[in-house]
Amino acid sequence: MSITVTMPQLGESVTEGTIGTWLVQPGQQVERYDSLVEVITDKVTAEVPSPAAGTVGEILATEGQRLSVGEPICTLEGSAEEVTTEPEPSALPESAAEADEVGEGEGEAAAAAVEVTAPAEVESSVEKTVVVATDEPKSDANGSSGFISPAVRALAEEHSIDLAQVQGTGFQGRITKRDVLLFLEGGAAAPAKAPAAAKEEPGPRPAPAEPARPGDKIPLSPMRRSIAEHMVRSLRTSPHAWTMVEVDMSGVAAARAGRRAEFLAATGTELTFLHFGMKSTCLALRAVPTMNAVFEEDAIVLRSEINLGLAVAIGDGLIVPVVRNADRYSVAGLAQAASALIERARQGKARLEDVEGGTFTLNNAGALGTVTSQAIINQPQAGILVMDAVVRRPVVVGDAIAIRPIMNLCLSFDHRINDGAAAARFLGAVKSTLEAVTADTALF
């Protein structure tokens, strides 16, 4: 059989060589490794050894000729042995093809791929929105530079926001992410923090477009998703313990009954059990400051303010507007502050500062009729207090049985921060101030 001998690569970065002196002639017998020809490169002059034993066949390159690496220089005939060649690279496993990104695993590459597709979809839908907007003269009045950052684009798409409606406060009047977030707080479907699964006094609830039927899948709204995430995280973060006391609300009932009409006339606000509950809670938080605290890695930080959050139902979820420095208000003040907040929340006009900075949460679940509730703490707080339904029950007074309006006060607390004794002290404080209310108690 015939073999073609080619120009070898003689040295790093060498790409060609010049034929020097032929050391063999056609017809000459050669052994394997015998020198065939001298080759000159700019690095070395070397002799090319025969790859096999055989007879020199045809000389294919002349002395002085320049050839590239791999070009034929002569043939070898009748070689008895097989020339050993490199094995086929089929020895490589399939996985070689998959090892692509330097240092990153497939997971990350896949994740990157997912990220890439999303913005494309976002872009097309937001563009539609923006195109519609520019038809209206209103958009020019914004004075926006028109630059929509990726974050703004993503938010707008997620919440189906018409950016023309958003006031831009950023560089050259552009709409910033914060502008969009603020717009959201004041707009529909606020992505609020949400604690316990209970509501304020039943207000008009927006009816769902189509009632879901058994077997249907209800897609998660951003708020529901946010609530879900918060609940799971809250339980995972705080070891929840629960305790309750019964409160005789007859004094509060009397106070309310007697002063309701006058209060409404004076302030335009309805006086409710909640307002008394808020006052008592604030007093109790002052008495037991560890119930108004945050758990940090190696300290329990007592909050310097008492910012009381109230759970409000909106849409298919919750929002918790906060009365800042609630302990500085009288019952009347709390009533007015709470009302304003709740009104804004119900109308979807809650501002960012309305929901920030809460240090403790109060939930008036009683309106729904439940008698005990185990709420989930609104992180990163130390506890959440639920006022359940006021129910007329037979109780022992002295040696006789009387009928009194009894309310259960249910406290879920973070057992890392407080033990049962502190929890009981706190509840006891709320209970005692509520039970001390009479028809003559000052409201203002």
Partner 1 sequence: MALTESPPVGAAGLTRDRLREMYRYMLLGRLLDQRVLVLNRQGRAPFAISGQGHEAAQVGVGYALRRDYDWIVPYYRDITLVLVMGMEPRDQLMAALAKAGDPNSGARQMPSHFSSREHNIVSGGSPVATQILHAVGVAQAFKYRREDRVVVVTVGEGGTSEGDWHEGLNWAAIHRLPVVFLVENNAFAISVPQSLQMAVEHVTERAAGYGMPGVSVDGGDVLAVYRAAVEAVERARTGGGPTLLEAECVRLQSHSSDDDQRRYRAAEDLDSMRLHDPLERFRADLESSSILADGDADQIRLECQRLIDTAQEEADQAPVPDPATALLHVYGDD
Partner 2 sequence: MPEITYVEAVQTTLRDEMRRDDRVVVMGEDVGVKGGVFGATAGLFQEFGGERVIDSPLAEASIVGVAIGMALAGLRPVAEIQFLDFIPPAMDQLISEAAKIRYRSNNGWSCPMVVRAPCGGGVHVHGALYHSQMLEALFAHVPGLKVVLPSTPYDAKGLLLSALRDPDPVCFFEHKGLYRSMRQDVPEEEYLVPIGKGQVVRPGRDISCFTYGATVHEAVAAAEKLAADKIEVEVVDLRTVRPLDRELIVESARRTGKVLVAHEANLAGGVGAEAAALVAEECFDALDGPVMRIGGPEIPAIPFAESLAEVYCLGPEKIERKLRELAAY
Pairing verdict, β 360-363 and 308-310? parallel
**Helices and strands of the chain, counted as H and E runs:** 10, 18
3-state secondary structure 115-128: HHHHHHHHHHHHHH
- Does residue 415 carry a catalytic annotation? yes
> Given candidates 1, 44, 112, 232, which one binds partner 1 under the rule CB under 8 A?
44
Cα angle vertex 233, ends 231, 238, to 5°?
A: 95
Residues 90-129 that bind partner 2 (CB under 8 A): 112, 115, 118-119, 122
| Residue 154 binds which entry of partner 1, partner 2, none, CB below 5-8 Å type-dependent | partner 2
Among 86-94, 226-234, 235-243, 407-415, the segment contacting partner 1 (CB under 8 A): 86-94
Q: Does 66 bind partner 2 (CB under 8 A)?
A: no
- Provide the token pair at 59: 């000389």
Q: How far is the CB of 72 from partner 1 (least distance, A)?
A: 13
Q: Does 58 bind partner 1 (CB under 8 A)?
A: no
| Residue 401 binds which entry of partner 2, partner 1, none, CB below 5-8 Å type-dependent | none
Count Cβ neighbours within 10 Å for each residue of 9-40 and write b for 16 or more, e otherwise.
ebeeebebbbbbebebeeeeebeeeeebbbbb
Q: How far is the CB of 152 from partner 2 (least distance, A)?
A: 6
**Mutual orientation of helices 250-267 and 273-287 as an angle, nearest 10°?**
110
Residues 143-162 that bind partner 2 (CB under 8 A): 149-154
Q: Does 203 bind partner 1 (CB under 8 A)?
A: no
Q: What share of the chain is helix, strand, coil (3-state, %, to 5)?
A: 35, 25, 40
Q: How far is the CB of 442 from partner 2 (least distance, A)?
A: 36
Q: Does 87 bind partner 1 (CB under 8 A)?
A: yes
Catalytic residue among 42, 140, 415, 440: 415
Q: Does 107 bind partner 1 (CB under 8 A)?
A: no
- Provide the token pair at 213: 């039927």
- DSSP code of residue 368: G
Q: Does 69 bind partner 1 (CB under 8 A)?
A: yes
| Residue 6 binds which entry of partner 1, partner 2, none, CB below 5-8 Å type-dependent | partner 1
> Given candidates 80, 91, 113, 116, which one binds partner 1 under the rule CB under 8 A?
91
Spatial separation of the C-alpha atoms in residues 128 and 104, rounded to whole Å? 36
Q: How big is the chain by its Cα radius of gyration, in Å?
A: 41
Catalytic residue among 42, 140, 419, 440: 419
Q: How far is the CB of 277 from partner 2 (least distance, A)?
A: 31
Q: How far is the CB of 60 from partner 1 (least distance, A)?
A: 16
Spatial separation of the C-alpha atoms in residues 149 and 334, rounded to whole Å? 41
CB of 22 within 8 A of CB of 2?
A: no
Among 48-56, 232-240, 298-306, 393-401, the segment contacting partner 1 (CB under 8 A): 48-56
Residue 218's SS3 state is coil
Spatial separation of the C-alpha atoms in residues 62 and 74, rounded to whole Å? 10
Q: Does 170 bind partner 2 (CB under 8 A)?
A: yes
Q: Does 141 bind partner 2 (CB under 8 A)?
A: no
Indicate the burial class of 150 (C-beta count within 10 angstroms; 0-12, 13-18, 19 or more).
Answer: exposed
Contact residues toward partner 2 (CB under 8 A) are 112, 115, 118-119, 122, 149-154, 170-171, 176-178
Contact residues toward partner 1 (CB under 8 A) are 6-12, 33, 43-49, 51, 69, 84, 86-87, 89, 91-93, 95-96, 98-99, 102-103
Q: Active-site residue numbers?
A: 415, 419
